Structure 1
Amino acid sequence: MKTFFSEDHRLHFPQAELSGGEFVTPYERPSRIEYVLARLKERKFGEIVAPGPIDMGPVRTLLDPGFLAFLETAYDEWKAAGQGGEVIAAGMPTRRQRHDRIPRNIDGKVEYYCHASETAITGGTWRAAQSSMASAQAAQREVANGARAAFALCRPPGHHATSDQYGGYCFLNNAAVVAQMFRDQGAGRVAILDVDFHHGNGTQDIFYRRGDVLFASIHGDPLDAYPYFAGFADEMGEGEGEGANINVPFGPGTAYGPWAEALDGVVRRITNWGAEALVVSLGVDAYKDDPISFFKLDSPDFLDCGRRIGRMGLPTVFCMEGGYAIEQVGLNTVNVLEGFEDA
């Protein structure tokens, strides 16, 4: 299995995140990727390839053009307005406020396009987000050309980004664009399986009213975990998308037994639904010692998780998402990939 990866991810390294009432070094940081790369090399797990430039065509067909323009220019606008530091939202539109007009002022634009203020934009964020998407696109092309699977070592991650908002460390929704690429190239039905601890609210939002892309997520109960306002079991899609959205939330302390049982159930539904290609939002923050999660999966469990996914036998693209127990993120990520290959 080839891994697609860009060194440009380093250009996105915010110096602060608001967490627990104080500014801390962001949990989503460049060193996460170093541990994954080190483990890939240690295990001699296939070739690591630079992705080439992003193709904005598929991105523009799925994501809001105003949002893309904002991401490209936000930092420069912020600086031109005399703002210091990094671009951080001070608030967001609330209930019963207007959502139909985009402010001219950069402060207002940031609040309009952001849904989580822990996520900062730096001078290198746009280029890093593009390189992350380029890795995902390269992995999709590898699979579309006949490979059984490919791994996009994406950073920044993507599954919390909607078609017109960023947050949760995410700017461009890599998994969503990969799924759309499969559809554009002739796949009748595509499934996205999100195993990140946090619900992929952005991916759900993008496909919620579509019946050609099934989204399935196993995650922390939104009553207890970010993103809090999406990911409930009764969110099953609307209109043409009714029945093509599957959420399996679990509470604090969930161990691998019930989690794996839920995964098997989701796998059966994806298979019965008739998916022709699979995109995996590969977060490993369900790990027992992750600092911002509360599941209790251990490292060998990720190996078994990969086997269960691999048994579907579908052309598969893995897109890296979360995982913040820094020293274990490489082991846990590669365990999933090796389990998949074992299957």
Structure 2
Amino acid sequence: MRIIHSPRHALHDGGMELHRGALVPCFEMPARVDHILAAVARAGWRVEPPREYPDAVLAGVHDADYLAFLRGAYAQWRAEGREGFMLPGAFPARGLRRDRVPTGLHARLGYYAFDAGSPIVAGTWQAAQAAAHCALTAADLVAAGERSAYALCRPPGHHAGRGMFGGYCFLNNAALAAQRLRDAGLARVAILDVDYHHGNGTQDIFWQRDDVPFVSIHGDPDTEYPFYLGHADERGAGAGDGCNHNFPLPRGTDWTRYAATLEQALERIAGHAPQALVVSLGVDIFEGDPISQFKLQAADFPRLGARIAALGLPTVLVQEGGYAVAEIGDNVAAVLAAFD
């Protein structure tokens, strides 16, 4: 298993999030990576640094004005005499204008964010950029002939849309990997998202495209974050009509129900005849996760990995969620072992 990781992830550290009405320390923390790296070492896999890529590559899935905001937001924050972390305090909700990008920092912060749970700190851009490079490197390895590669990305990415951040995500690593594989000449690349929370950003990016079908199994958005996307009737639009497949499941879902849904999801993927697969690997479907409500146990993760690997597709696995910190490493390694 080729594993790509950058220590620059640790630059994104600190801050608080607004979680279900309470201001709390972020569940998405650097220690998550420490436990994954420890499990990787126990498995005997070698960790490689990412290659470097120009920021122009990021524009393959993100708007230029959004990238410029992320690059410069914290420097502007400091220039205004502020310290600590940045969180938005207002958003352009229904009835407010979204056709005009504001000039003031606080207004732009709310314009590009969709929640108050994703603080920007001094090293956020550098960490997000490094995570993107990890995903791009893994995609390049698979495009060059590797059967699989794992991008240990932090911060995660699947909630980041073409021009928005939230859900701890700033750059959409899975989308960047899929676009990189497309740019390498693969005609169709599927994305399977198994994170507990719907990958609204990935859906946003590929909503009108038929070359990157998106399939997601996740908690029911009627009660689970990100709430406003992820319903089963969201099928794509334009050229992408019929290429978006959501499988929302209720709280308390265990392996028996999850496995049956996984079979349906994999059938949808196979029906699109992709040449490669990108997996948004969130292990917050684990029963002990503090912000998720499925009931998969540790023994279920090898089964999950084996079933996805059985598709026989060249596969890029991209790290997303998983907030039961002590168990995250073993759960990730159990999935990866199926591809080794």
- TM-score normalised by L of structure 2: 0.98
Q: Which residue identity does 1:173 align to in structure 2?
A: N
Asked if 1:120 is matched to 2:119, the reply is yes
Contact 1:279 1:316 (C-alpha < 8 Å) held by counterparts: yes
How far is the alpha carbon of 1:184 from its aligned partner?
1.1
Contact 2:101 2:108 (C-alpha < 8 Å) held by counterparts: yes
Please give the alpha-carbon distance, in whole angstroms, between the structure 1 residues aligned to 2:299 and 2:108.
Answer: 44
Indicate the RMSD between aligned Cα atoms, in angstroms.
1.0
What does residue 336 of structure 1 align with?
335
> Bigger shift: 184-193 or 79-88?
79-88
Q: Give % identity.
A: 46
What does residue 13 of structure 2 align with?
13
Please give the alpha-carbon distance, in whole angstroms, between the structure 2 residues aligned to 1:55 and 1:319.
Answer: 20
Q: Which residue identity does 1:43 align to in structure 2?
A: A
Asked if 1:204 is matched to 2:203, the reply is yes
How far is the alpha carbon of 1:300 from its aligned partner?
1.1
Asked if 1:43 is matched to 2:29, the reply is no
What does residue 243 of structure 2 align with?
244
Which of structure 1's runs of 4+ aligned residues deviate more than 3 A? none
Please give the alpha-carbon distance, in whole angstroms, between the structure 2 residues aligned to 1:18 and 1:97.
Answer: 22
Contact 2:15 2:84 (C-alpha < 8 Å) held by counterparts: no
Contact 1:54 1:131 (C-alpha < 8 Å) held by counterparts: no
What does residue 318 of structure 1 align with?
317
Please give the alpha-carbon distance, in whole angstroms, between the structure 1 residues aligned to 2:232 and 2:268.
Answer: 15
How far is the alpha carbon of 1:86 from its aligned partner?
1.1
How far is the alpha carbon of 1:15 from its aligned partner?
2.7
How far is the alpha carbon of 1:20 from its aligned partner?
4.3
What does residue 262 of structure 1 align with?
261
Please state whether the residue corresponding to 1:191 is helix, strand or coil.
strand
How far is the alpha carbon of 1:135 from its aligned partner?
0.6
Q: Which residue identity does 1:19 align to in structure 2?
A: H
How far is the alpha carbon of 1:268 from its aligned partner?
1.4
**Unaligned segments of structure 2, at least 5 residues:** none
Please give the alpha-carbon distance, in whole angstroms, between the structure 2 residues aligned to 1:21 and 1:252.
Answer: 20
> Bigger shift: 258-267 or 193-202?
258-267
Contact 1:54 1:130 (C-alpha < 8 Å) held by counterparts: no
Q: Which residue identity does 2:24 align to in structure 1?
A: V
How far is the alpha carbon of 1:100 from its aligned partner?
0.5
**Unaligned segments of structure 1, at least 5 residues:** none
Please give the alpha-carbon distance, in whole angstroms, between the structure 2 residues aligned to 1:58 and 1:277.
Answer: 20
- TM-score normalised by L of structure 1: 0.97
Write out aligned runs for 1:42-61 (5 A). Answer: 42-44=42-44, 46-61=45-60
Deviations 1:186-206 (A, max 9, x none): 111110000000000000000
Asked if 1:220 is matched to 2:219, the reply is yes
Deviations 1:58-107 (A, max 9, x none): 31122100000000000011122233421111121110110011111100
Please give the alpha-carbon distance, in whole angstroms, between the structure 2 residues aligned to 1:6 and 1:212.
Answer: 29
How far is the alpha carbon of 1:14 from its aligned partner?
2.3
Please give the alpha-carbon distance, in whole angstroms, between the structure 2 residues aligned to 1:324 and 1:212.
Answer: 32
Please state whether the residue corresponding to 1:278 is helix, strand or coil.
strand
Count matched residues: 340
Please give the alpha-carbon distance, in whole angstroms, between the structure 1 residues aligned to 2:18 and 2:210.
Answer: 37
How far is the alpha carbon of 1:16 from its aligned partner?
1.7
> Bigger shift: 132-141 or 77-86?
77-86
Please give the alpha-carbon distance, in whole angstroms, between the structure 1 residues aligned to 2:53 and 2:87.
Answer: 26
Please state whether the residue corresponding to 1:99 is helix, strand or coil.
coil
Please give the alpha-carbon distance, in whole angstroms, between the structure 1 residues aligned to 2:26 and 2:191.
Answer: 27
Q: Which residue identity does 2:247 align to in structure 1?
A: V
What does residue 67 of structure 1 align with?
66
What does residue 153 of structure 1 align with?
152
